[in-house]
Structure 1
Amino acid sequence: MKLNFKKVGEGKPLVILHGLFGSADNWFSIAKELEKNYTLYLVDQRNHGDSPHSNVWDYDVMVEDLKELLDQEGLGKVYLMGHSMGGKTAMNFAVTYPERVEKLIVADIAPRYYPVHHQVILKGLNSLQLQNISSRKEADDELAKTIKEPSIRQFLLKSLGRDSAGFSWKINLPVITQNIENVGVALEEGQIYKGPTLFLAGANSDYIRQKDLPGILEFFPEYELEFIANAGHWLHAEQPLAVVEAIRRFIN
């Protein structure tokens, strides 16, 4: 699948993958800080952003989507970063094609299994009757009946597109809803990426815990872990400058 992506900057290639319900646009503020040093590829994964939709949606195909993008752009080894679901894609890519990854950065996700915990968000998104919505304010008001946090609603509504026919989701909501279990699957045992790996964790997040460290070591023996202070799961939105500095330190 040919993925949509934004390419900015100059220098060695740094590929960034967004998380569930996100898009390449989520990383523009990070890219602005890094574009003088790196050529950034901000990627929309399948069923997200402006990339194509498909009924097949798991990490096997997302890994192959990424390989196709690197091949099409003539990229050999890249710096690869992913957040949450994008981090799982990046980890799976690194253990499958280690020769294509110079260094790996994983933002607030571990290689273990995560149980489904997006039921409230999916309920809210699926409850929106888009044919009856005439403004983003109306969409936000409707979502607020299910999703109380304004910041989460704002993030989700970035995936709400509009054209002459009205509003529609950029995300493939039916397929994501049906296959949501696929997001939390663990990496397959026995796979190893021996290159330098940085795990960035939000200090206020519980996605990476102390008991996850032996599992991380099993797959990524050359890993280091850095906590971003005053940040939860969306660490790049909450503490962008700290994330930028961590990326720079690790790559350099």
Structure 2
Amino acid sequence: MPLALAFEALGSGPPVVILHGLFGAGRNWTQFAQALAEDHRVYLPDARNHGASPWAESMSYMEMADDVRALIERDQLQRPFVIGHSMGGKTAMALALSHPQTIGGIAVIDIAPESYADQFSPYVSAMRSLDMASAASRREIREALAGSLSAEAPVDFLMQNLRRQNANASMPANFLKRQALPSMTGLPARAPMLPRLSTAVPLATSSSTRTTPTR
């Protein structure tokens, strides 16, 4: 059953949906969305177990794609163009495979339809080890997280997963389960079918910061 994703929307015009990456949130793309919003209606959803969206026991790419489909149908978006970064890129691929008639095209950034080595376990371990109950402030939590990771780790990015309920802070426990990681580093269930996609779904691919449309 799809989840009702939290999202922000800005601008008016043809619809665009931007899907953020792992450990991120829709607001990561606010500046980019503001530029697009000059002549588009831009949606910035938080994926399940991210940002302000609901938590769930599982988060496969096909489930996340169905969440996005539900948002598109609920807000009656007419074949929006979907931009996906990293995890969001694979979600966009899954959406193109499962509901190609729902979207007008996809742009996939920083990810390919293949499996990747697990780079996330150190982040998950560090977040799981946080003593949230004894931390007096967000700053203390950040310092503890930074102290358990390498200097290059995206600490501020990871801190976006911090949630505060009443006086208590927490990280999304379901999301931090180790068994969720294989689905994040692997493929959408039907990704091998992507080259044989029969419905016309425009794609934009890139090997650098410049994108080249492909058909």
Same fold (TM over 0.5): yes
Q: How far apart, CA to CA, are the structure 2 residues paired with 1:26 and 1:128? A: 24
**Residues 20, 114 of structure 1: alpha-carbon distance in 2 compared, 3 angstrom cutoff:** same
Q: Secondary structure at the match of 1:121?
A: helix
> Equivalent residue for 1:227?
208
- Structure 1 stretch 181-190 or stretch 38-47: which is displaced more? 181-190
List per-residue Cα deviations over 1:145-184 (Å, max 9, x = no partner). Answer: 2223366001111221334322122574444x33111012
Residue 186 of structure 1, CA deviation: 2.1
Within 5 Å, give how 1:89-238 maps onto structure 2: 89-149=91-151, 152-169=154-171, 172-175=174-177, 177-187=178-188, 188=190, 189-191=192-194, 192-193=196-197, 194-199=200-205, 225-228=206-209
> Equivalent residue for 1:20?
22
CA contact (8 A) 2:80 2:104 kept: yes
Residue 101 of structure 1, CA deviation: 2.0
> Equivalent residue for 2:68?
66
Q: How far apart, CA to CA, are the structure 2 residues paired with 1:31 and 1:190? A: 30
Residue 139 of structure 1, CA deviation: 1.2
**TM-score, normalised relative to structure 1:** 0.75
Q: How far apart, CA to CA, are the structure 2 residues paired with 1:56 and 1:144? A: 27
Task: Give the letter aligned to residue 69 of structure 2.
Answer: K
Give the count of matched residue pairs: 206
| Identity between Structure 1 and Structure 2 (%) | 32
User: Quick check: 1:10 aligned with 2:26?
Assistant: no
**Residues 84, 99 of structure 1: alpha-carbon distance in 2 compared, 3 angstrom cutoff:** same
| Stretches (4+) displaced over 3 A | 170-175, 191-194
**TM-score, normalised relative to structure 2:** 0.87
* Structure 1 unmatched runs, 5+: 200-224, 229-241
Task: Give the letter aligned to residue 40 of structure 1.
Answer: V
**Residues 171, 106 of structure 1: alpha-carbon distance in 2 compared, 3 angstrom cutoff:** farther
CA contact (8 A) 2:89 2:109 kept: yes
Q: In angstroms, what is the RMSD of aligned CA positions? A: 2.0
* Structure 2 unmatched runs, 5+: none
